[in-house]
Every structure is written in C-alpha cells, then in structure tokens.
Amino acid sequence: MQTHEIRQRFIEHFKKAGHTEVPSASLILDDPNLLFVNAGMVPFKPYFLGQQNPPYKTATSIQKCVRTLDIEEVGITTRHNTFFQMAGNFSFGDYFKEGAIENAWKLLTNTLEDGGFGFDPDRLWVTVFHDDEEAAEIWENKIGVPAERIQRMGMEDNYWSMGVPGPCGPCSEIYYDRGPEHGRDGGPIADEHRYMEIWNLVFMQFERGAGDKKGNFPILGELPQKNIDTGMGVERLACLLQGVDNVYETDLLRPVIDEAEKLTGATYGAQHSDDVRFRVIADHCRTGLMLILDGVTPGNEGRGYILRRLLRRIIRSARLLGATGNTMEALMNTVRQTMTPSYPEIADNWERIRSVAVGEEKAFLKTLESGSRLYEGHAAEVKKSGASRLPGDVAFTLHDTHGFPIDLTMEMAAEDGLTVDRAGFDTLMAEQKARAKADNKAKKHGHADESVYRPFVDNHPTVFTGYTQLEDEGCVLGLVADGALADVASEGQTVQVILDRTPFYAEAGGQMADRGELRGASFIGDVTDVQKVGKKVWLHQVTVTGGELAVGHKVTAVVSPSWRHQARQAHSGTHLIHAALRQVLGPTAVQAGSLNKPGYLRFDFNYGQQLSPSQMRDIEQIANGAVDADYTVHTIETSLDEAKKMGAMALFGENYGSQVRVVEIGGPFSLELCGGIHVEHSSQIGPIAVLGESSVGSGIRRIEAYTGMDSFTHLSKDKALVADLATSLKTPSEEIPERIEVLTAKLKVAEKQLQQLRNQQLLSQVGELVNSAVEINGIQLVAQELPEGVGAGDLRTIALDAKSRLGSRPAVVLFASQDNGKVPFVAAVTDSAVARGVKAGELVRTFGDKVQGRGGGKPQMAQGSGSSASGIAAGIEAVKEVVSTV
C-alpha cells in the first residue's frame, strides 16, 4: 500500500465518523516556543489550552512535522527522521476514551475492502498507564484484546503533558508484533524493536502544576472538558504495510537512495559508513524540500540555519560517496515525484524549490572545497603534534573567515578521530557578537552609558506628535553630552536633547530619522539624527548653531517639510514594491530588511535566485500602477490579533505590542503592520524608478529604487543619455538596442579576425621559438610566455606544432599566456622525453602551483589554467628544475 493511500484511508475513515478534515498547517507557525511544528497536535494547541473556541467538536488531520534535535543521529540508525507525517484525530469535549479506542481499532483491523488497514488483531498489543483501569477495561471487555496483550507502563512512557503547567493525561499506545525474527517475546515492555508502536492515544483529562522534570509534578484536578489527541506515524505504518524493515525502504525514501546510488556510484547496503550517508541524503532531501515549500530559505540563523545545515549535509554526504558533479536537482526531483501525490502544491512551487536548493549547492561547493583543504592542513598539524583536539581559534577562523560551519568542522574532526575545542570556539563567537553589539551601540548613542537615560525611560516617555504635524512646542527635559547629563549646551556643541513631546520621527522600521531644527527665544540648533531609547524616549542629536540651550527651556521643534515629504514618499514606495514583489514572485518573497530615506529606498527580501529582466519590469510596472491608481492610504490602530485577522503582514522576528498600527494602501493591494510615516494618497509617491537588484547574502536579494523627484531626475538623465546615443549612432532611439547589437557583432568578428592574424603570425614564428630551445640534461626545452590574448586552444596548436618540429629527439615544450585575467598553459613532451621520465601532466602541475592554478593530462600532452600572471616566470624556472633532475 502506497503512503498516499495510507493517508487517504486514514482521513476517509474519520470523515465517515463525523470528523472535520483539517489541512496540514505550515511547518512554520506563530509559536515563540517552536522553531518548527513538531507534533500533530500543535495547530490545535489554542483549543486544548482554552485560548480559543474550536470551530468543530471533532477533527482529523495529517500534519507535517519536523524535529531537528537529533540531526547528528540521522542515518546512524534507521529510527531517526527529521521530517515525518503525523496522522491524528481530535475530540474537543466530544467523545473520550471509548470513542478514541474504538475508532483506532476499527481502522487498523477492518479489511481493506471496508476501508481499513487489514491488520491481524492477534498481532496487536496495547499499553496503558499503570493505574488507568478505565482504558484497560475498554481494551479487554469492549474491544476484546486478551489481558496478556495489555501491558501497563509508568509516567515516562504512558503519560502526556506539554512539559509545562496545563493539560495532561494518561496515554494508551498500540503496537504491532513484527515476529520473532525481529526480537524476543514479551510484548512492548520486553522489546520495542520487535513490537513497533504505531499509534498513541492521549486522554487529556487533567491539569498539571509546575515540575522540574517529566512525572515530577502535581495533578491539580480535572479539566472542565475532556479531550482526545491521537497521533499515528504515517511512515511507521508504511513500513508495516509495505513489508519493509524501516522507513528508508518505503516508497517515499528508497527512490531517493536509488537516485543517490546512480549519482555517486556507491552501493547502499555494502558498508555501514556509506549506508549512513545514503540515509542522510534521503532524509534531509525530503525535509529540505518541505521546509523550502513552506517558505524557509537558507541562512545563518534560526530556521534558515537548520535548512542550510540539512542541505550542506546532503552535499557533503554525496561527495563522500563519490559524487563529482551537481546532485541536488536530481535528488530533489526524486523527492518531488514521491511527495507530490500527497502534497500537490509541490508542483506549483517546484521552480522556486529547485532554485533555492541548487543555489545553495553551488555556493557550498565553493566553501567545501576551500574549507576542506584548510581543515585538512590544520588537522594534519594537530595529529603530527600528537594532540587530539582542534583548537577553538582554528575552528573560529574556518567559520568566521572562510564560511565553514562549526558543525561540519566537528563532524569532519570526529571522522578523523579528533575533537574540537567547542568552548574556545563559543568564547570567540561571543566576543565577536559583543564587539558588534558595542560598535552598533556606539554608532547610535556615542558610547554613552545607557543608564544615563534610565530616569527618562521610567518617568518621562516622549509624546510623539509627528503623525499629524511637522511643528510642535516642547520642553527640554534633559541634555546628554559625551555620555553624561548636562545642564547647558553652547554654540558649536553637539548634544542629545530629550523633549517631553516632539514631531520628529525617530529612526525605526527602516525609515531614517527626520531632520530639521529646534528653535528657542535665544537659541537655534540643527537636528541631524533622532534615535529611541527603551522604545519610549526620543534622543534628538542637535548641533547648537546659535545661542545657548538649557534644561527647562521651551523650544519649537520643526521638521524639515522637504525631508519629511521625500522620506514618506520612499517609505510608502517601499510598501508598493513589497506588494509588487509578492505578486510577481509569490507569497514567500517576504521582507528581510529595508532602508528608506528621502527619494531613495532599498528593500531586502528572501529569494534564492536572481530576478529576470521581465520580472524586474513587472515589479516596476505594478508599483507604478498603484501610484497611478491614486489609492487612499489608511492607518488603523488596532490589536495585534485583529490585525492578523485582517491579513496584515508582520515582519518575522519583530516584537509587536498588543496594540499595533496597520497601513493599508488600496485595500488588499498592500496591508502591513508599520509604525512609519506615509503619504495620504499613493499618487503622492510620484514615479518609482527601479535601479536594479542584487544579492546581499545567501537567499537574500535587494531591490533599490528612487521615488518622487529623485526618480524624475534619474529618468531624465537616462533620457538624455539615450538621446546622445541616438545622435552618436545616427539612429532613432527605439532602434538603439538593435543598432548596438549589430555593432557588437561586427566588433566581435573584427576581434576574432585580429586574433587569427596574431595567431598566424605566432605560427609563422614557431620556427624561431624552436630555435630558442635550450638543452638541459640532454633534453631540448622550449619554455616561453607568449603575447597576451593567446587562448588555451591556440596555445595547444602552437605547442603541438613546436613539438612536431623538434622531431624524435627528447624535447619539452611549455607555453603560457595571459588571456582575460586567466593564465592558460600547455605542456607537450616527445615520446623519447617521456621515456626519460618527463611527463607533461607533472609539468603542468608544477607550473600551476606557481600561477595559482591546476591542470592535468597525458604524459605527452597536458594543459591547465591559473589566475596569477606574476608567477609565470617562476613557473618556467620550476619546469626547468624538473627537467634538470630526470
């Protein structure tokens, strides 16, 4: 029975029993305690905790789950998987123990014709909590399971809670006896390998108190309503119904292993170390695909780091098995074929999934090659010294300078019989983070001790009035100069000014702070920056340009109208770009950072590949279409829950209060949580000129654009440039691309002809080159650097011609040149020189070391390429040395 049929039978069984089918939730839920959904009941937690009223009394689902605590164990045994599917049925105050037990038993034991799984009842065992007499009585007297196949277990095995105060209750688990060939008699208590657990029924009926470990907590009483939470492992059931020993042999994962065999040339089942790598590939490919499907992109923190780690373990495992080329696309395509019957959305998102996975492979292969060489050198030094631990500073340098992950360093060290000074590594990482934090704080607050602001944060929060006005009167509550409180600031001095109220926007949400002035009866100063402390106090950085400012003075705070106008154009323009991006690239292209300043915006977003010119045009057109539509911009103050119900987008990782501000542009066109300053109508943004997009990190792209007059100025310059080109080329502006293409083609032809003439001239000079041969150790050596621009193919032709002119005598020819920043080189050796022990392949390797390159070939002919032209002369001398020693 195929896995997708197992899923379907489960759902149909419970739908016939009156349950509401609930689709699997995303692997990423808004739960601060979870990196990923790790159990089937997680999406229903608010109902079990009484936080929300369920819209149904009973439900059933097949939930996607990921657990990553045991990544290192994956593959070593066949029991660990990072991704799995949990089939479950749930009751919220409806049926209880008897209903849950009957539903499970019928599905397992009913015949295939009746919609069941057809298990032999005589091979099923059950366990109950040691004092749960009610469950034991139901199993024995209502279901008919013999008493000897009902076993009792304690809190560790048959009692459930979430690990914190809240709902809890006893469990009853169902096991299948796989037969004596899998272990000893005696039921689950004796051998859980032979007796495989397939279903866990949780009877959620009590409330527990605080405790320090599982089982060590008080039971406070019964819950107001009794609930059912069950979980049946789809993969485990597939093992039994497909007659295989473990999940890696099922229809979902064995095809991935088969594909890995083709790509690597290794054989699954031949040796344990290889089997581990095959299982890592199969498990991680499936998990990686499902994470990318749900919007995760490779990164250096949180979910992104987990995905990156999984993908890189796949790549390295394939390399260790013998793969030499790219493998990710073929492996992921196999997962697509096995998983799409259950998750049709994979097909719709395949191109994005493929590009993310392939992009990570390309990036990591470069890191793997260079980092592995560096690691091997350090590991060799450690072994040579007789030590067994790789120093923490070495691991830190590999990670920080060369991008080599610490977990990979630890894995490779373990394979070499070494350990890593992880404590030393962690110390250096902590020091680096502390330095970065201190640098950032210094930039924002001038090295001030933040304790100086504490009285203001606690007692005098700043009232911000800038949403509705550009000018306001305020009282100077405090002055901070050089990190200390001050009473007075004089002309020429720069200080931080704390006001009781201000119209100045403090830098936040990617929007730069306002600029303007503070004016008093005998004072004037320029406001050059505004920052927040404790999210409550505005710090105005003010340079006193006239008079004197003192604590207690009344001032008028005036925001520059032009600055504010252009800044809000850029901020609202950013929202339009974000909305356009999601229309063009899909809902997973979400914000990863932004900067808005007058006339300019940049927007970072999660996406795994470069955008095409047509995508860029579409984004610009959609954004400007929204400008032209003159949408009204609404700001709504509401609760966070209401904002989410409205569909407002929140930035992942951002901490929001209970009350939030929603910015709506054109209704459903753009709806985001945002505390920034915006235009009243989208037409006020003016034209948006997209400058381009680029990569700012693995999986993160950046779009830059101008707005308003800056956009107009940029477009005017482009227009003038096009006009100048049209005049120079004597062609209408709309025909410029075609004209340039024709000229470029002609130029390439001319360059090719010129190079051919140069090469013919060189060939005519081969005789002179041969005549320049020097005899070393009885061997004729022609070693020259040829003129710049001679490519690898022409070098080979010239070298073969020179070799043929040298006849049958022992001779060596080596030519090199500089071509488009590269250093191609070729060695040709006559048969009689080969007989003397000179081999072309060894010569190019010797030469390649001097020009930071590599090469190879046969004894008579070999070639390569390097990157350092400054090493050509040294390379020729090294070749002479080789010839002189044969």
DSSP 8-state code for residue 74: B
What's the distance, Cα to Cα, between the start and end of the chain in Å? 68
In the structure encoding, which two tokens stand for residue 440, read together? 């950032």
In the structure encoding, which two tokens stand for residue 738, read together? 């075609």
CA distance 300 to 653: 14
Instruction: Give the 3-state DSSP-derived string for 441-457, with helices as H, strands as E and coil as C.
Output: HHHHHCCCCHHHHHHHH
Secondary element (H or E) of residue 220? strand 219-233
Instruction: Give the 3-state DSSP-derived string for 401-433, with helices as H, strands as E and coil as C.
Output: CCCCCHHHHHHHHHHCCCEECHHHHHHHHHHHH
CA distance 418 to 596: 50
In the structure encoding, which two tokens stand for residue 658, read together? 């209970």
CA distance 250 to 840: 51
Q: Which residues pair with 527 in a beta bridge?
A: 516, 542
Assess contact for 74 and 279: CB atoms under 8 A. Answer: yes
CA distance 382 to 456: 55
Radius of gyration for the chain, computed over Cα atoms and rounded to the nearest angstrom: 35
List Cα–Cα distances, 594 to 13, 509, 586, 651, 777, in angstroms: 49, 8, 19, 11, 68
Per the annotation, does 678 bind a ligand?
yes
Residue 354: CB atoms within 10 A of its CB come to 19
Q: Which residues pair with 420 in a beta bridge?
A: 390
Q: Which residues pair with 176 in a beta bridge?
A: 124, 196
Q: At what angle do helices 272-293 and 302-321 cross, to 10 degrees?
A: 140
| DSSP letters spanning 667-709 | GGGEEEE--S---SBGGGG--EEEEEEEEEETTEEEEEEEEHH
Cα 199–5–282 angle (5° rounding)?
A: 80
Going through 685-802 in order, the beta strands assigned E by DSSP cover 688-697, 700-707, 774-776, 779-785
CA-based nearest residue to 833, from 824, 820, 825, 842 = 842
Assess contact for 310 and 288: CB atoms under 8 A. Answer: yes
CA distance 848 to 854: 5
Assess contact for 298 and 308: CB atoms under 8 A. Answer: yes
CA distance 426 to 250: 40
DSSP 8-state code for residue 462: P
Going through 714-797 in order, the beta strands assigned E by DSSP cover 774-776, 779-785
Q: Which residues contact 381 (CB under 8 A, 6 or more apart)?
A: none
Per the annotation, does 571 bind a ligand?
yes
Distance of CA 751 to the CA centre of its chain: 44
Tokens 């070298």 found at: 799
| DSSP letters spanning 575-628 | HHHHHHHHHHH-TT--EEEEEEETTEEEEEEE-SSPPPHHHHHHHHHHHHHHHH
List Cα–Cα distances, 732 to 718, 805, 854, in angstroms: 15, 56, 50
In the structure encoding, which two tokens stand for residue 312, read together? 């890189």
Secondary element (H or E) of residue 571? helix 561-585
Assess contact for 120 and 103: CB atoms under 8 A. Answer: no
Cα 524–493–551 angle (5° rounding)?
A: 65
Give the annotated binding-site residues for Zn(2+): 571, 575, 674, 678
Give the annotated binding-site residues: 571, 575, 674, 678
